[in-house]
Amino acid sequence: MKRQGTLLTTLGVIIAGIVVWNLSKMPGNTQTVVVYVSEDQVFSEPILKDFERETGIKVRAVYDTEEAKGTGAMNRLLAEKNNPQSDVYWANEPIRAEVLKQRGISASYVSPNAAGIPDVFKDPEGYWTGFSARARILVVNESVAEKPQSIHAYTNARWKERAVVANPLFGTTTTQMAALFTLWGDDRAKAFLEKMKENGTKISTDNGESTDLVASGEFDFSLVDSDDGVNRIRQGKPIVMVYPDQGEGGIGCLIVPNAVVLIKGAPHPSNARKLMDYLLSKETEQKLAFADCAQIPLHAGVETPSEVKDIDQIKAMEIDYAAVARKLLEIQPFLKSWVGY
């Protein structure tokens, strides 16, 4: 009986200690910044921890899950439009940042650290600013003798039933499709997608799975993000990366930068600006370049790892991200029917 009492008391003290610890960690209002993050937690969290260490400002974050495909945090922002909890949104691509602007959820802020970033990767009114980008590249199995050089390979009979693409309802593949619709117009883009289907293109769950399917030789190539390619190359997988449509008259390669957004009615606006300045610095771009995500810096003069090209060596697709954002919402029904939802 005595033993029982000791055991119960010990358990009670431990649990009470943990509860008290939790209560003591409830952040105050002044030295806090709340950020919703769509970039993978495994890459974004170390950056936010560095910010905490260097500034003493406590970061409270909400991260996306794989299932929400990079849009869960954004949708939480939409749900909280009249009751904002977040100060900053770190989007893993600029289209959702544009949607937030169009829905009146973001506020304008032009960071002094954004001066070195090319204008094409920034909202002209300062509602979002791009940094550290991924490129939409083709991963091709090493054993394929003649490597495809264009996304038109998807409709080429030479690669019938040999190509795979991630589900275009989610993530950067949606952005890619919306960019094509903006660039080519609806009719041509729809015809392209129909031809892709006729040519036996397989739909995978995500870019990671597409890359693995190419690496295992089940398919010859796939359009994925550069970080997926670099990641598998570093694992020794037999793939090569091709920047598509780089030749004369080619549409270029879609560049997908991260985007940082100030939220309208942010509870901690001053700290929010400090965090945005930090994310847009050259130092953060360098860290993200040498992390496993191998993202491409947008500031000139930031060192890049050997597996990826410098931004000025890539022929980028010339698009208006605001137009792509509008198109993205418009083509959802078509994409759903194309996928079979």
Partner 1 sequence: MGRRVTLAAVVVFLMAIGLLPLVVMFAKSIVVDGQASLAAYRGLLTSGREWVLIRHSLALSLSTALLATVVGLPLGIVLAKTDLPFRRLFTALFTIPLLVPPYITAISWFNLLGRQGALSKVLGSAAAQATSDWLFGLPGCVLVLFSTFLPVVMLLTMTYLKTVNARLEEAGKLAGGWLRVLKGITIPLILPGILMAAMLVFLLTLGEFGVPAFLRYDVFAVESFTQFSAFYNFGAATAAAVPLVAITFLVLVAERLFLRDKSYRLRLAPGGAPSATIALGASRNWIVALVGLLCFVLVVAPLLVLFSHSLSLAAYKEAVSRAGDSLLRSIAYAAIGASALTVLGFFTGYLIHTRAFRFWRAVDTLTIFLFTLSGTVVGIGLISLWNHPSTNFIYGTPTIIILGYLARYTALTSRITVSALAQIPPSMEEAAQAAGAGWLRRMGLIVAPLAKRGLVAGWLIGYIFCLRDVGITMLVYPPGRDTLPVRIFTLMANGSTELIAALCVIMVVATLLPLGLGLFFIRS
Binding site for partner 1 (CB under 8 A): 3-4, 7-8, 11, 15, 18-19, 21-22, 25-27, 34-36, 40-43, 45, 58-69, 71-72, 74-75, 78-80, 82-83, 85-86, 169-170, 205, 208, 212, 216, 231, 292-293, 332, 340-341
Amino acid at 80: E
Task: Dump strand ranges (E) for 94-207.
Answer: 106-107, 129-141, 163-166, 202-204
End-to-end CA distance of the chain: 62
Shortest Cβ 127–partner 1 spacing (Å): 19
Nearer to partner 1, 85 or 246 (CB): 85
Nearer to partner 1, 124 or 340 (CB): 340
Shortest Cβ 281–partner 1 spacing (Å): 23
Nearer to partner 1, 175 or 199 (CB): 175
Nearer to partner 1, 2 or 124 (CB): 2
Shortest Cβ 229–partner 1 spacing (Å): 13
Nearer to partner 1, 67 or 248 (CB): 67
Separation between Cα atoms, residue 298 and residue 257, nearest integer Å: 8
CA-CA distances (angstroms) from residue 67 to 64, 268, 278? 8, 29, 29
What does the angle CA 144 – CA 146 – CA 149 come to, to the nearest 5 degrees?
A: 110
Shortest Cβ 257–partner 1 spacing (Å): 18
Residue 307 gets the label, from left (phi > 0), alpha (psi -120 to 50) or beta, of alpha
- Residue (of 151, 150, 195) closest to 173 by Cα position: 151
> DSSP per residue over 225-255, as a string?
EHHHHHHHHHTT-SEEEE--S-STT---BPE
Shortest Cβ 13–partner 1 spacing (Å): 12
Q: Are 134 and 285 in contact (CB under 8 A)?
A: no
What does DSSP say about strands 88-91 and 106-107: parallel, antiparallel, or unpaired?
Answer: unpaired
Residue 147 gets the label, from left (phi > 0), alpha (psi -120 to 50) or beta, of beta
Instruction: Enter the DSSP assignment of 295.
Output: P
Instruction: Enter the DSSP assignment of 122.
Output: B
Shortest Cβ 98–partner 1 spacing (Å): 15
Shortest Cβ 182–partner 1 spacing (Å): 21
Amino acid at 112: P
Shortest Cβ 267–partner 1 spacing (Å): 9
- Residue (of 105, 124, 122) closest to 114 by Cα position: 122
